[in-house]
Structure 1
Amino acid sequence: MLDRISSLFSREKSPLANQKSAQQWCKQILQLDPASRCNKVHELVTDFIAAADKVSFERLQALMLIDEQIQESFDAVCYQYISNPRMSKEMEQQLWKSVVSFSTDMVDAYQRFVQADGSESPQQSFDALMPVVLARSLRYLAIQAKWHYFRFEKVPPKLWLQAHQMYRLSEIGGFDCNSFELYSNGKDEVSSCADEYIQMLMLNTLSNNNLSVRQIDMIDGWLEQWSKFIQIGRKYQDTQHHFCINLQESQGPQKINNDLLGEPYRYWGLNDLIGHIQETLGKLMTGSSYASLGLNSDSRGSTVSDLLKHLDVFWTMCMRNSQVKRSARQKVSKSADVIYGLDRICRYVKLDNDKFNRQGAEAKGTVDYDEIMDMRLYGFVSSRTKEKLAANPYSFTNNTKQEVDWHSWSIDNESADGFGATLRFSENEWIRPSLLLASRENNEANWRIGILRRIARLSDDEVSVGVQIICVSPVMVGMKSLQKDRAETITVADLNFTAGLELPNVRTALYVPHQINGTSVNTLIMNLADYGLDKVYQVNARDKKFSVSLGTVLEKGVDWAWVTVNVLRQA
């Protein structure tokens, strides 16, 4: 081993002796496949780290040249992992370890030069290359972090400390925002230490979003350009900033509060990025190509637009939540039924509404409208009416054969605003942040409307989720638009959910009482496709009809929008 290291770093034989030796060595390994070329470079770098030889400007140039030459092969190995979700566990482990260990050793190799003092080499000789050295190191750290997200693992604390340290060094050097070519790959792409750092930070904000390997990699690619829309600041601005990072702690981004202020912290906001994403979605809808929008994705169809909508919703939610105060949590041990999806929630909320109205009618000694009509016409309740009532999905007769259409969650904490639960991921793979759902604690309780705010992976098959309750007494309503603006396909089973409106062009929604700055406002949760600013609908809540215009969006998910409404008149 000693002979190998001595031979490696003799100036005549070592590929790291100078740029000329490095170039010749790179040509010699060109005939190898990408994985083998990466292994050769990895062995070379590992030996360099193990050696106690002095660093020099020539060796740094050689290392940077070899790093640049191996990028195409390294990208091929990474793509092999990302594009093959059904590989065997053994192959997955082998590829994962290969990518992570290669990135780790590249960071350690560059660190030899970053940490060099005047006794090893004149420090000023490294200054010209230090911006690129730190930016490349930050990229390799970000790659390691991404590969941990692929496995739903937390980033090791050491990685955060290294990333914070390198970004801080770029600040001290005064070149943190200086742009340059990170690798000469012919793509005319420029980066900076701040861009690489922001990309790592922003991808971390999505690490608990239940995204696939392909989706995480796709977003990471977009962030190479999107990082230009974010600026890191030292002074907190409450109207502009939504995340912060402590350069002295071994953790990632945090939401801002009054305790997270001062010199160790850096701050950034999402306003410009959200604006760009929304503009991109608008251009996609008008027929712009992926390449013209800088997406450059292999995926087509709805995959890209759905992912962009998810990012728009999630980061917009982060902006909103950064200004919301949390209620104190209390530990509990209980269970709750949970359903998701606006259409399904509307059906069950209407069951609650009908149950409440039927109980009110029975308390007044009244009977069903159809029964009254039969008594007036025939003097008795017809068999047809009885069959209709029996077949009515909103009839609250005890039906022991009713199919269970909900999931059971174990609630372990709750507050005035919501609750937290611990779930088996294999039984709840549909969960994602900003998901609209409804919950109840027993069969007699009403369904409450909530939004899934938080997902945290605890183990391979266990996750912790947080739900905010936004309404405890929703009302299902029917909506009719006089404009023929959207084709509807309504099945026979849906006819009972239209609240008595004429067909076609009927939608369903949830009326949600809400307060904004202490003032009560009327709001609806509706399908996102039905929303349009100032669009007018006729809303039917049982026997009451209103004409309303839609106002601003309070919040939205991938397929739903929570909007304010202005009542124009009552029919």
Structure 2
Amino acid sequence: MRELLNRLLKRDKSPFAGAKLATAWCRELEHDTPAAQRAKVLALAQGFLADRKPPTADALEAALLIDAAAQPSYEALCCQYVANPRMPKELERQLWKEVVEYAQAMVDLHQRFVKADPDPEDKARIETLMPRVLARSLHYLGIQAKWHHFRYERLPSKLWTQANQLYRLSEIDGFDSNPFPLYPGHSDEVTSCADEYLQLLMLATLSSHNLTVRQLDWADQWLDRWSKLIQLSRKFYADRHHLCVNLQEDAGPRRVKEDQTEEPFRYWGLFDLIHELQETQRKLEQGASVVSLGLGEDCRQPACGDLLRQIEAAWSSTLRNTQINRSARQTVSKTAEVVQGLSKLCAMVRNDNDKFSRQPVESKTEVDYDEIMDMRLYGFVSERTRSKQSANPATVLPKTKQQVSTTTWVIENESEGGFGAVLHAAENEWIRPGALVGMRTGENDNWRVCIVRRLNRLRDEQLSAGIQILSATPVAVSVKADDDENTQINLSDVSIFNTEFPMLRVGLYIPHLQGSNSVNTLMLHASEYASNRLYSVKARDRGFTVKLGSVIEKGTDWVWANVQVVRQKD
């Protein structure tokens, strides 16, 4: 009798002793405040890890129940952080630390069972629960990654090592794509180990694009659904795959290269994802509500549409970069003047065009403005232009100094195709991937048409930007749709405005190489673009009727499209 009483008294009463005790403990937990709930669960998990008892199937069932019971409280903590982007620094550090430490404790708790060598009688039960264990571990690693992205910090190498290993384990056991609800409270949503892993990978591709805390959180929520449009492949297909990850390294996603075709790599493409983004934007423009498109109840227009365009630009840039061989970079030390937006860039390009028009032959250092137009349109200089030059060979147009505000960026490296720049974050809050900018590195240089392709946070006050040069010899034009009865604003009228230009009907002729062919292209305001529409394009005293074709690229307020010259006006 005494031995029986001793056994009863010594019986483990910890919630980790089994599902029954864990359920009772979780029921009592409901009476506590959210903060107390998280504190109790964290202390319980840390105590279990410190105890070092052999993991059992009963303990695993209990761990999953305890983790699920604290989810509403933990989600509320995460929402508190995201909803208060301007909170005091001390409070931000406190909340950040609490979110990350709790996630790490849950990862360690689940890892204890992943690494366990269970008894034969427990092995089958643990294997049944292992898909949920790995998926929740990847989910918590994704939360940690997102909170590092909020601070623009590089992810710890240990995090990538754990994520890559956990996904590899799910592949080995053959349940990487098996769908199931992650938590009972989310029974209407299904996920898988592959979905959680891809969500982590794809959010990392947006981390260098200078998104706000709220924008990153929205993107992460959308990736809950979008991750199901992506499939990881062991075999590489050059026409289909754009990104890859090495499961044996402590690193995340990268652009596919020819030598990355061995077993440790997994590959995926972006075509379906970008198509979904474009379809979502089209439906929004047609009047569909944000909620009906599954974008969340707290997301509002126009912020939602702007973020969709930013994400599309970021992933479209990744897609293009996999198809382009980059030229070698050279380290330099110089500065560049920068203007933002199409209207300001057109004004600066017009100055260049005027400066180099009708110059005396003996002092001519640049291609004549009319020669540029002829070469863009015909591929040769017309007789009309030659007659005009001979009749007025030495007229130099006065320099027109437009009152356009510029900023200065430090150029650290350059290549044939672009620049690497360092800039102050506070002075460039407007900058986003896909932003159109004009740049020149000296007063005697032409303004170049450029696009910001990459952003990284170096420290709190500095950003690193990768900039692609679209053209070093653009031509400024005025643009008007032939069926538009409103008064056209000519390019020559730009000088009457101050530093802030309205949405003028201006554009840029840009030479562009498609394959091995040089084609005519036009960049204009997005509000002016319509496919197959006829436009009157005027370059000082020369006019053309053109028809816009396929879009090469678009930003938040500009469109760059192929153009066909229909006729030249007298």
Measured against the shorter chain, the TM-score band is 0.7 to 0.9
Is the CA contact 1:419–1:468 (under 8 Å) kept in the aligned structure 2?
Answer: yes
Equivalent residue in structure 1 for 2:547, among 533, 546, 549? 549
Q: Distance in 2 between matches of 1:220 and 1:42?
A: 25
What is the identity, as a one-letter code, of the residue corresponding to 2:468?
Answer: Q
Contact 2:478 2:491 in 1 (8 A): no
Map 1:151-550 onto structure 2 (within 5 A). 151-357=151-357, 359=359, 396=399, 405-484=405-484, 495-496=493-494, 507-550=505-548
Check conservation: 1:327, 1:416, Cα contact below 8 A: yes
Q: CA separation in 2, counterparts of 1:311 and 1:149?
A: 15
State the AA in 1 paired with 2:455: I
Q: What is the number of residues matched between the two proteins?
A: 524
Cα distance, 1:295 vs. partner? Answer: 0.6
- Structure 1 residue 396: Cα displacement: 2.1
Q: For residues 10 and 97 of structure 1, what CA distance do their matches in structure 2 show?
A: 37
The 1-side partners of 2:487 and 2:179 are apart by 51
CA contact (8 A) 1:116 1:123 kept: no
Please, which runs of 5 or more residues in structure 2 have no aligned partner? 1-8, 365-396, 497-501
Q: Is the 8 A contact 1:480 1:505 kept in 2?
A: no
Given that residues 145 and 155 in structure 2 are in contact (C-alpha distance below 8 angstroms), is that contact kept between their aligned partners in structure 1?
A: yes
| Contact in 2 for aligned 1:55/1:121 (Cα 8 Å) | no
Q: Deviations over 1:3-49 (max 9, x none)?
A: xxxxxx97542111111211211222222221221111111111111
- Find the counterpart in structure 2 of residue 60 from structure 1: 60
Describe the SS at the equivalent of 1:419: strand
Aligned residue identity for 2:536:
Q
**For residue 532 of structure 1, what is the amino acid of its counterpart?**
A
Structure 1 residues 360 and 206 mapped into 2: Cα distance closer, same or farther (>3 Å)? Answer: farther
Farther-moved stretch of structure 1 (272-281 vs 417-426)? 417-426
Q: Distance in 1 between matches of 2:166 and 2:466?
A: 34
Provide the C-alpha distance between the structure 1 equivalents of 2:108 and 2:152, rounded to a whole number of angstroms.
Answer: 25
Partner AA of 1:530 in structure 2: E
Paired residue for 1:389? none
| Superposition deviation, residue 361 in structure 1 | 10
AA partner of residue 443 (structure 2): N
TM-superposed deviation, 1:243: 0.4
Quote how far apart the aligned CAs of 1:345 are.
0.5
**Greater CA deviation, 189-198 or 522-531?**
522-531
Matched-pair contact (CA < 8 Å) for 2:180–2:192: yes
Change (3 A) 1:512 1:323: same
**1:495 alignment partner AA:** D
Q: Which amino acid aligns with 1:419?
A: F
Other structure's SS at 1:240 match? coil
User: More displaced, 293-302 or 218-227?
Assistant: 293-302
Match of 1:386 in 2: none
Partner of 2:370: none
1:3 matched residue in structure 2: none
Moved more, 550-559 or 351-360: 351-360
CA distance in 2, matches of 1:564, 1:309: 21
Closer, same or farther: CA 286–360 of 1 in aligned 2, 3 Å? farther
- Shift in Å, 1:545: 1.1
- Measured in 2, the distance between the counterparts of 1:395 and 1:80 equals 59
Give distance in 2, aligned partners of 1:221 and 1:494.
Answer: 48
Aligned to 1:388: none
Q: Distance in 2 between matches of 1:10 and 1:313?
A: 63
TM-score by length of structure 2 reads: 0.88
Instruction: Report the CA distance between 1:403 and its aligned residue.
Output: 5.5
- Counterpart residue type for residue 531 of structure 1: Y
Structure 1 residues without counterparts, runs of 5 or longer? 1-8, 365-393, 499-503
Distance in 2, Cα, partners of 1:449 & 1:10: 77
Shifted more, 540-549 versus 241-250: the winner is 540-549
- What is the identity percentage for the equivalent residue pairs of Structure 1 and Structure 2? 49
Map of 1:561 onto structure 2: 559
SS at match of 2:355: helix
Aligned partners of 2:433 and 2:454 also within 8 Å: yes
Q: Residue type matched to 2:464 in 1?
A: S
Question: Residue 446 of structure 2: SS of its match in structure 1?
Answer: coil
Q: Deviation per CA, 1:304-356, whole angstroms, max 9, x where unpaired?
A: 01101111122112111111001011111111111111111111111111222
The answer to whether the 8 A contact 2:480-2:488 is kept is: no
SS in 2 for 1:40: helix
* CA–CA separation in structure 2 for the residues paired with 1:537 and 1:76: 54
Q: Which amino acid aligns with 1:73?
A: S
